[in-house]
Amino acid sequence: MEKAIEPELCRTMKEVRQGVDTVDAALVELLAQRFGYMRAAARIKQDREAVRDEERKQAVIEAAVAAARRHKVPEGLVARFWEDLVETSIAYEDEEWIRLRD
């Protein structure tokens, strides 16, 4: 895969698509790492009730929105995306918690 150029330097759709593909691949790698932490949390938490932590969920979403603001990314979109990401992570961690104790 060719190295992507910075967005502001793109002059063709091929360059744009290469950049998007490169970012998408990196995002999947980061998601794999994030879900590794969810597996670790499932292993560490002794009580299934601890899997869902609404206070932590809100803090994670707020941190993402603050980062979006700093990077001039639409805050509402990031909030919705992170809501889905965190809920998906909680569901995955819950499944792993159950799997590890079966």
CATH of the domain at 25: 1.20.59.10
Look at residue 45 and tell me if it is in a domain.
yes
Tens-place pLDDT, residues 69-87:
999 999 999 999 999 999 9
Look at residue 66 and tell me if it is in a domain.
yes
Q: What is the mean pLDDT of residues 32-37?
A: 98
Rounded Cα gap, residues 77 and 65, in angstroms = 9
Look at residue 2 and tell me if it is in a domain.
no
Q: Has residue 33 got a pLDDT over 90?
A: yes
Per the prediction, the chain carries an average pLDDT of 96
Look at residue 3 and tell me if it is in a domain.
no
Please give the structure tokens belonging to residue 39.
Answer: 């597996």
Look at residue 28 and tell me if it is in a domain.
yes
Total domain count for the chain? 1
What is the extent of the structural domain holding 66? 8-101
pTM reported for the whole predicted model: 0.90
CB 64 within 8 A of CB 84: no
